[in-house]
Copies of this chain bind each other. A is one copy, B any other.
Amino acid sequence: MVVTGRAQVVGLGLMGSSISGALRANGWHVTGRDVDADRAARAAGIGVVDSLGSDSFADVAFVATPASAVVSVVHDLFSTSQASRLIVTDIAGVKGSIVNELSYPRFVAGHPMAGSEQEGPDGADAELFIGATWVLTPTEITDPAAFTTLQSIIAAIGADVVALSPDRHDELVAVISHVPHLTSATLMGLAGESSLDHAALMRLAAGGFRDMTRIAAGSPAIWPDICRDNAGAIVPVLDRLIEQLSAVRRIVAEGDWLALSERLEGARTARQNLPLRGARPAAVAELRVIVPDRPGVLAEVTTLAGELGVNIFDLEIAHSAEGPSGVLVLVVDAAMAEPVVAALRAHSYRVAWTTAK
């Protein structure tokens, strides 16, 4: 499915500008706005957007503002839209706190797992999302047609959509993003402690330390918002990290080298199994799921796949001519088709699948 039309992008920082550029490259007419007039003018000046301002006829809106502004911007977009079926999404790093405040069936919250050291429209990269994972967090009120359309828009700019529940997303990003960031800054802070000789230490800092503290060089501005919005997930993960580091401390102090080796081996294996960003499957499978026509089915089916780490390459809803059920067609990595089918069947779905395409 190829979708183009009119898009509104709110917030023209690096991410909003990159989304704008990617949409334009796909034939969209993009209207952008930003509370910072200079930044908006810059984005227009370098051709990241087609025009500036508000397009009340936009078919889709991407809210790329700071997280704290998302809820009010989404309300504003829906209340001023004159389009028949506006779809709105956002890109904030924490989803539960936003999704809980908004009950529009055609608002589908999202989080593209991509970024850059650059800032602002000048850092925009229309290819930033190629091969990136882009989480969408459908809920039981989500309009399946809105989700399907948004999935194809995002797939067209090169990202792989993974569906997760908002809470699940927040728990996972606490582990793979928020707590690592806080840890990186803390390690850097230790190295900067005055009791240590900073200069000699910095001289010795080789590749591993540089790798581990790289993210600490990023702008701190977004972190108070993220930590406030996701404290519920971050605090328990920090507790687990502290507990595990205390166990390592005990192991080193007591000289239990077997336990140390086991831990390091386990971590090594896990790290080596980290999938490559944007690795493409050798083959895809088409799953046809018979779905009852009730709310929440789309969220349930797609997030069952998301929980297994499976991204959705394509998605279509075929309503049945007879009776209240339909068919949801999911295209996924063929190698993951069996576990997804098993998970769906365990949830009482009827599924047929082929490795067609």
Interface residues of A (CB under 8 A from B): 113-115, 132-133, 135, 162, 164, 168, 171-173, 175-177, 179-193, 196-220, 223-224, 227-228, 231, 234-235, 237-242, 244-246, 248-249, 252-253, 255, 257, 260-261, 263-268, 270-275, 277, 306-311
Contacts and interface: CB of A to CB of B under 8 A. Distances in A.
B203 A133 contact: yes
Nearest to A303: B200
A220 B216 CA distance: 26
Given A211-B215, A227-B260, A257-B227, A267 B177 contact: no
Contacts of A212: 180, 183-184, 211-212, 215
A40 B306 CA distance: 50
A182 B249 CA distance: 9
A138 to B, nearest CB: 15
Contacts of A270: 188-189, 191-192, 198, 216
A190 B177 contact: no
A62 to B, nearest CB: 19
B242 A238 contact: no
A344 B223 CA distance: 44
Given A187-B241, A308-B199, A209 B177 contact: yes
A274 B199 CA distance: 9
B186 A220 contact: no
Given A187-B183, A220-B261, A266 B192 contact: yes
Contact of A224 (B135, B180, B260): B260
A162 B267 contact: no
Nearest to A209: B176
Contact of A234 (B238, B252, B271): B252
A260 B222 CA distance: 11
B213 A214 contact: no
A206 B267 contact: no
A81 to B, nearest CB: 31
Nearest to A181: B208
A218 B216 CA distance: 22
B275 A202 contact: yes
